[in-house]
A and B are shown apart, each in its own frame.
Chain A
């Protein structure tokens, strides 16, 4: 479903990688590995369509990813949380969903926040939350996420052991439903379901 062909990435004056290609089918997870600066994040930004590759092409369901349709199938979680400090976790989730034209009821949002362990803090402005809690607000988006392609940049950073297990469960649930996921990570986490592929950038 997700295909990349002969990708080349040049940042500034350095060529990070060239001739890179892979194929990912429903229910598969792709782990991107590599040292700092090897181009993991650049590759992710290519896959979500924000960074045009120097050469090569990326296709989703056989179509180029430049279409609006692709973005409707994509859920991206960057290393930045994309939450507003001034808003409460609940407001953050609802505002993000409305701006992305997704349906998310208040009950669903509250349920998601409860699952990430933020029950009781829904109405506290995010600036009063700890780093790990802010990350959980960002991850709460994934709980009700139905879009088939997840691209996650370092999703396990700043999470405690229990939260890592919880997130691994969420991702494997997504794969079992026939979803696809691409993610970068430093710590290898066992994902209990789906086919796991690895891609090492050097």
Chain B
């Protein structure tokens, strides 16, 4: 019972705002620690790949970015489900705060994929199943952001966006499966990243980088959600007292 009470309390913007503010520097610091450790492991410790040379080291960015791009979409869909079920204000704001980071991760994944593909496949872009799915995921992020931006009423934007996220989450496995199917039929070139035997140090490097991206995403999402809260609730008492306090 006590837990339940607490959850509801933190779902209110007035309590979440200072909490997010206090936690942001912590998450940034943790992200920096994980990032430094991951880069050290990935760039200096991990052995040079006998097939791909030094170029393969870009996977320490590429793979964690792809993981995060998918993970963030799932988290957003989770917030969407909570928002539609319990009509909490925080859920829509969190989903909107996460979207740009998710899109950034998808873009980063595509970009590093292209950088990696040029020396490996001899082309910037190959219609590989994973790259194609990642591109579609980026489209889904852009669609979500365009929809919420086009709706003036914040409440309607939250709800419509939440519904789109849920529709997207149902569709993603179907899209992924169909792209796989399409790819095997058309026998696209595939040098799979996972095919090259992965040393334990490489796996650890990627995990550390993934943790870094994860913590970074939380930190920037908190920063963004604080801005969204101030903007949306600028007429409420708690924001007014907060802003009055800042001016003194």
Contacts and interface: CB of A to CB of B under 8 A. Distances in A.
Nearest to B87: A52
Interface residues of B, number: 5
Q: 3 closest Cβ contacts across the A-B interface? A: A13-B235, A12-B153, A13-B234
Contacts of B153: 12
Query: DSSP majority for the B interface?
Result: loop
A119 to B, nearest CB: 43
Interface of B: 87, 152-153, 234-235
B72 to A, nearest CB: 29
Contacts of A13: 234-235
A20 B153 CA distance: 23
5 contacts: A12-B152, A12-B153, A13-B234, A13-B235, A52-B87
Interface in A8-59: 12-13, 52
Contacts of A12: 152-153
A13 B87 CA distance: 17
A9 B8 CA distance: 22
A142 to B, nearest CB: 31
B197 to A, nearest CB: 57
A134 B152 CA distance: 32
Interface string A144-167: 000000000000000000000000
A52 B87 CA distance: 11
A12 B154 CA distance: 7
Nearest to B153: A12
A174 to B, nearest CB: 34
Interface in A56-85: none
Nearest to A15: B235
